[in-house]
Amino acid sequence: MQRTPATTQTAIVSLDKPPPTRTVRIRRWLRRRRRYAALHLPRGLCYGLGTGLAGIGFYWLQHHL
Number of folded domains that form the chain: 1
Decide if 46 is inside a domain: yes
Decide if 5 is inside a domain: no
Decide if 45 is inside a domain: yes
Decide if 7 is inside a domain: no
**Which residue from 38, 56, 60, 59 is spatially nearest to 48, judged by alpha carbons?**
56
Decide if 14 is inside a domain: no
d(CA 29, CA 20): 12
- Report if pTM > 0.85: no
> What does the pLDDT read at residue 57?
96
Decide if 13 is inside a domain: no
Name the region of 9 (left: φ>0; alpha: ψ -120 to 50; beta: rest): beta
Decide if 26 is inside a domain: yes
**Which residue from 28, 26, 23, 49 is spatially nearest to 57, judged by alpha carbons?**
49
> What does the pLDDT read at residue 11?
64
Give the pLDDT confidence of 1-60 residue by residue, as tens digits: 567 666 666 666 667 888 889 999 999 999 999 988 899 999 999 999 999 999 999 999
CA distances in angstroms from 11 to 3, 6, 7, 39, listed in the order given: 18, 12, 10, 50
Range of the domain at 26: 21-65
